[in-house]
Chains A and B, each alone.
Chain A
Amino acid sequence: MRPALRAGRDLGFWTLCFLALAVVVAPSLAMVGTLLQQAGPALSLHLLTATTANNGLQNAILGSLLIMLGVLVVAGPIGILGGIYLAEFAPAARAGVLRLGYETLAGVPSIVIGFVGYVLLAQALHWGFSLLSGILALSAIVLPYVVKTTEVALLQVPSTLRDAGLALGLSRLTTLRRALLPPAVPAIASGLVLALAIAVGETAPLLYTLGFSDQDPSLSLFQHPIGYLTYVVYLNATLPTRLEHEVAGAAGLATLLLILALIGIGRLASRRAARFRAQLPT
């Protein structure tokens, strides 16, 4: 083949690839831009001091923080303990089954989880639209993620540490607590934080479990619907006026900031985890 033709193909191919890269990068910037532009006029302290009834976001921000806390309390321990079992205690066959279980759960569409949450928790158990229904639905969504990150974090701890602990006559539990968990903690924490980032951006599983309220969240677990940020985006996006779109933009921006902050913390933690691991024997 003529060299010029080959060079031309090379150029053409990479031009297309960079074009693809641009097509991926541009929308992410455009979305942030749109949020800023929509939210712009509404950005003021009013957002923090008024509830959604008066075009503020106070109740929604508090609600989102509250469900994050709830997910942290429910999915955190369960996921971490489950991950520890899979990495350190599970016989291979059983680990395979359980892994299949959580990976499949991760593939369940979020609206299906929301639907079951509604039918089972809100209706059958008579919890109504409530904090607990919402937290459990969200936990089902992020749990696989927490389990997986914990499992992987422990698997990345050099096996020599495990052997050393056992060779010293320590019990499995002590080996785990003293030798294996400390180096794995940053990676586990980073996974947990990223799981919260997923949770705070979700809407579908909450629509019929958490409901929505214009008032500041009550701390009651049952029967009290709670407002949250993504719902404000969803609702106001479909409303016609400029002001409503501004609030939608502000809510979207607040959600995104929360998520980005969490991602940032997660990154710091995982960088620390990497540094930590680099110091360990292999």
Chain B
Amino acid sequence: MSFFPAAQGTGRRAGPLPIRRPIRLRDADLTRRDRLARSGLLLAAGIPTAMLILIAAEMVVQSLPAFRYAGWGFFTGRVFSFGNLYVTKLQVQNGVSAPHGATYGAFTFIFGTLVSSVIALLVALPLAVGAVLALTERVPVRLQSTVSIFFELLAGIPSVVYGFWGILVLGPLLAAHLYPVLGRLGAVVPFFRGPVGYGEGLLTASLILTLMIVPIIATTTRELVRGVPILAKEGALALGMTRYETARVVTLPYVRRGIWAAALLGWARALGETMAVLLVSGNLLNGLPANIFSPFSTMAATIVAMLDSALTDATGMAVHALAALGVVLLVITVATNLLGRLIIRRVTGGAVLPVGRGI
């Protein structure tokens, strides 16, 4: 979707926002109704920020008991278990009590989240940039908007539908045809060694994530590529460079930093994606994936998968433990997202990055 507010359907190039002198309002310039309206509007404008603070604060407060209970073991432990929820026996650790046998070690989920999103990013980046170059530089102009509809479609398809398609079609297809071939890499790379499974696992989830973040990277890249000065490109072509050389020497260097920003944004989306991963991950608890094809789980998927049973923990610790997962996820995604926006602000001086679910 051209969820690129600045670019929507305008013949005008999107690029950075029009530069405007900063607004300097002296109170004397405002009528009383102006001032009243201004306070009301400020209230509305503050709501997203207030929500953000509320969400972050609530997550931290909720997670503290679990962090205190598990200590550093939360980040290093590989067993995540709510303990025996049916017995009233409690286990006290660092002054915090939880059901007997409860251990909150999130390493496998942190690993799963990072690895699946990194694989997705590594595949999506060249895919998106290549597709955008083909689209903007080679596809005839009158066909371009028709072809971009597919990017919008990809961005618009709900993540549960990605998951549904993943378990029904893509997973089995890849497990039958692509994975056996990739499995031969096992001779060189240990992580590819072993059974290729039936299509629910790390690689399938990563590839689904890839498709989900391609539109994010692609829309941003497209706007950036359209912003490359035409004279520089024509100059390169006039010097006798091939189109490939023009792309390599002129276009790509011009948009490089912006693409890094887009990549960070896409990565943030992959880190936080829940439903599609939940459906195709195979939901492995308490263990690292044996190889790249085997089941695993992520922080986001685990929160959804386990919140139901966490609610039955009378001590409330299970919910705290999931909140702790959420905090780790929140910190990683927000940091990635902010870094991307910081970079793009430097590059273009405006708000060209999409906001929302990738869009």
Q: A interface vs B, CB < 8 Å?
A: 6-7, 9-10, 12-14, 16-21, 23-25, 27-32, 34-35, 38, 77-79, 81-86, 88-92, 97-113, 115-116, 118-120, 140-145, 147-149, 152-153, 155-156, 159, 171-173, 187, 190-191, 194-195, 197-198, 200-204, 207-208, 230, 233-234, 237-238, 245, 248-249, 252, 255-256, 259-260, 263, 266-267, 270-271, 273-274, 277-278
Q: B interface vs A, CB < 8 Å?
A: 1-3, 5-6, 8-12, 17-18, 20, 22-25, 29-31, 33-34, 37-38, 40-42, 44-49, 51-52, 54-55, 58-59, 62, 126-131, 133-135, 138-139, 147, 150-154, 156-165, 167-170, 211, 214, 218, 242-245, 247, 268, 271-275, 279, 300, 303-304, 307, 319, 322-323, 326, 329-330, 333-334, 336-338, 341, 351, 355-357, 359
> Given known contacts A20-B131, A102-B48, is B55 in contact with A108 (CB within 8 Å)?
yes
B85 to chain A, nearest CB (A): 18
Asked if residues B169 and A82 are in contact (CB atoms below 8 Å), the reply is no
For B160, list chain A residues within 8 Å (CB). 203, 230, 233-234, 237, 252
The 5 lowest CB-CB distance pairs between A and B, nearest first, are A109-B272, A101-B49, A107-B337, A20-B130, A201-B158
For B272, list chain A residues within 8 Å (CB). 107-112
* Docked pose: A129 CA to B241 CA in angstroms: 63
What is the count of residue pairs linking A and B with beta-carbon distances less than 8 angstroms? 345
Asked if residues B164 and A252 are in contact (CB atoms below 8 Å), the reply is yes
Looking at chain B's contact residues, the main secondary structure is helix
B223 to chain A, nearest CB (A): 13
Asked if residues A115 and B244 are in contact (CB atoms below 8 Å), the reply is no
* Docked pose: A116 CA to B326 CA in angstroms: 10
Asked if residues A90 and B23 are in contact (CB atoms below 8 Å), the reply is yes
* Docked pose: A255 CA to B153 CA in angstroms: 13
For B44, list chain A residues within 8 Å (CB). 77-79, 81-82, 85
Q: Which of B54, B126, B243, B330 has the most CB of A within 10 A?
A: B330
A167 to chain B, nearest CB (A): 13
Asked if residues B38 and A89 are in contact (CB atoms below 8 Å), the reply is yes
B103 to chain A, nearest CB (A): 21
* Docked pose: A112 CA to B334 CA in angstroms: 12
For A233, list chain B residues within 8 Å (CB). 158, 160-161, 164
| 28 A-B pairs with C-beta separation under 8 A | A9-B242, A10-B242, A10-B244, A14-B134, A20-B127, A21-B139, A24-B127, A25-B150, A30-B165, A78-B47, A82-B41, A86-B45, A89-B37, A91-B23, A97-B49, A102-B48, A116-B58, A120-B54, A140-B48, A144-B356, A152-B17, A198-B357, A202-B158, A203-B275, A207-B304, A245-B168, A255-B161, A266-B8
Asked if residues B8 and A187 are in contact (CB atoms below 8 Å), the reply is yes
For A113, list chain B residues within 8 Å (CB). 55
B209 to chain A, nearest CB (A): 12
A249's closest neighbor in chain B, by CB? B164
For A142, list chain B residues within 8 Å (CB). 356
* Docked pose: A145 CA to B272 CA in angstroms: 18
For B1, list chain A residues within 8 Å (CB). 194, 197, 263, 266
Asked if residues A270 and B9 are in contact (CB atoms below 8 Å), the reply is yes
* Docked pose: A234 CA to B163 CA in angstroms: 8
A155's closest neighbor in chain B, by CB? B17
For A109, list chain B residues within 8 Å (CB). 271-274, 300, 326, 329-330, 333
For A143, list chain B residues within 8 Å (CB). 47-48, 51
For A19, list chain B residues within 8 Å (CB). 130
B37's closest neighbor in chain A, by CB? A173
* Docked pose: A23 CA to B58 CA in angstroms: 41
B42's closest neighbor in chain A, by CB? A85
For B279, list chain A residues within 8 Å (CB). 234, 237-238
Asked if residues B33 and A148 are in contact (CB atoms below 8 Å), the reply is no
Asked if residues B242 and A201 are in contact (CB atoms below 8 Å), the reply is no
* Docked pose: A173 CA to B62 CA in angstroms: 43
A272 to chain B, nearest CB (A): 9
Asked if residues B158 and A230 are in contact (CB atoms below 8 Å), the reply is yes
For B48, list chain A residues within 8 Å (CB). 82, 98, 101-102, 105, 140, 143-144, 147
For B161, list chain A residues within 8 Å (CB). 31, 35, 233, 252, 255-256
> Given known contacts A144-B355, A237-B164, is B45 in contact with A82 (CB within 8 Å)?
yes
Q: Which of B51, B151, B152 has the most CB of A within 10 A?
A: B51
For A195, list chain B residues within 8 Å (CB). 356
Asked if residues B134 and A256 are in contact (CB atoms below 8 Å), the reply is no
Asked if residues B58 and A120 are in contact (CB atoms below 8 Å), the reply is yes
> Given known contacts A31-B165, A116-B58, is B158 in contact with A92 (CB within 8 Å)?
no
Besides A101-B48, A119-B319, A252-B160, 13 more A-B contacts (Cβ < 8 Å) are: A20-B129, A81-B45, A84-B41, A90-B45, A91-B25, A105-B48, A109-B329, A109-B333, A110-B272, A201-B156, A203-B275, A237-B279, A256-B158
Asked if residues A194 and B218 are in contact (CB atoms below 8 Å), the reply is no
Q: Which of B59, B247, B355 has the most CB of A within 10 A?
A: B355
For B273, list chain A residues within 8 Å (CB). 109
Asked if residues A30 and B23 are in contact (CB atoms below 8 Å), the reply is no
* Docked pose: A142 CA to B354 CA in angstroms: 12
* Docked pose: A9 CA to B247 CA in angstroms: 12
Asked if residues B242 and A107 are in contact (CB atoms below 8 Å), the reply is no
Asked if residues A24 and B128 are in contact (CB atoms below 8 Å), the reply is yes
Asked if residues A234 and B275 are in contact (CB atoms below 8 Å), the reply is yes
